[in-house]
Amino acid sequence: MSLLTINKLTSSVGAEVLGVDADRLASDDLLGEAVMQALEDNGVLVFRELGLNPQAQVEFCSRLGEVDYSSDGHHPVAGIYPITLDTSKNSSAAYLRATFDWHIDGCTPLGEECPQKATLLSAVAVAETGGETEFANSYAAYEDLTDDEKQRFGSLRVVHSLEASQRRITPDPTPEQVARWRQRRTHEHPLVWTHRSGRKSLVLGASADYILDMDLDEGRALLAELLDRATGPDKVYRHNWSVGDTVIWDNQGVLHRAAPYDPNSPREMLRTTVLGNEPIE
């Protein structure tokens, strides 16, 4: 019998985990594996009003895999990164407006790092309006292609860049902004990611700039169409946050975005990331 009681939230992505409290999550050694399996099966797990404290959050994530400490320095607890548009709480807040577009974390790393395996957010403060987090299943995005499309798209390669994702929210950048974005190298990824499990997913989202060896506009139109199809309203789980909620997603198999919220809103999420070890190939 599974260790977890799970209630699916939509037919394609998201499930609520019932009957687990913060103490058990932080201390039960057996839960890690069960959570990872549930994540693989459901893409997103929701723990409502769990009230997980930052230390316990990092402890729990360390049961799921290797915690990412590379962005430390913005929060007193190692392994915690605050997601907020308030520049006094996070000096990189300006970049975070890019979370308003659909994306997969870690498609444009500094070096050759793999995309993060899983990301966990806990809500410390919520927006009065907006600020929900939305999720769509990128395995389902592949499965929903026609056989002909699966065939045709199987060999396409896509160039991803920080510049592409930043341009969507800052369409008229200064030359200095563009120069800063371009310091981050571009990455070439296949459109179809064949995972170690054998499952396939589409690698789409804000960082996807253009398709190699295809007319620029035609390639961009195809990327936009595939993203639209993957994220239609009937395919999305939208999490409406309450303080104390914890949500974790399989960053290898879902697209996500934040619904826009006022940059002056107190909304603050504490994020912990579990590193991935699966290259996009």
Residue 64 identity (one-letter amino acid): L
248 touches, from ligand OGA, Mn ion, none (C-beta below 5 to 8 Å by class): none
Instruction: Say whether residue 31 binds ligand OGA (CB under 6 A).
Output: no
Nearer to ligand OGA, 56 or 254 (CB): 254
Instruction: Say whether residue 269 binds ligand OGA (CB under 6 A).
Output: yes
Nearer to ligand OGA, 211 or 255 (CB): 255
Q: Are 270 and 122 in contact (CB under 8 A)?
A: yes
Instruction: Say whether residue 271 binds ligand OGA (CB under 6 A).
Output: yes
Q: Which two tokens stand for residue 105?
A: 């974390």
DSSP string, 91-142: TTGGGGGGGGS-B-TTSS-SSSPPPPSEEEEEEEE--SS---EEEEEHHHHH
Task: Quote the distance between the C-alpha of residue 39 and its chain's center.
Answer: 13
- The single residue among 25, 46, 83, 248 that binds ligand OGA, judged by CB under 6 A, is 83
107 to 126: interface string for ligand OGA, x by CB under 6 A: ------------x-x-----
Nearest Cα neighbor of 268 from 137, 46, 2, 74 is 74
Instruction: Say whether residue 136 binds ligand OGA (CB under 6 A).
Output: no
How far apart CA 228 and CA 202 sit, in angstroms, is: 12
Instruction: Say whether residue 258 binds ligand OGA (CB under 6 A).
Output: yes
Smallest separation (angstroms) from Mn ion to the CB of 233: 20
Residues at the contact surface with Mn ion, assessed by CB under 5 A: 105
Q: Are 239 and 46 in contact (CB under 8 A)?
A: yes
Nearer to Mn ion, 105 or 250 (CB): 105
**Paired strand residues for 35:** none
145 touches, from ligand OGA, Mn ion, none (C-beta below 5 to 8 Å by class): none
- The single residue among 36, 54, 105, 275 that binds ligand OGA, judged by CB under 6 A, is 105
127 touches, from Mn ion, ligand OGA, none (C-beta below 5 to 8 Å by class): none
How far apart CA 34 and CA 4 sit, in angstroms, is: 7
Instruction: Say whether residue 63 binds ligand OGA (CB under 6 A).
Output: no
SS3 of residue 87 by DSSP: coil
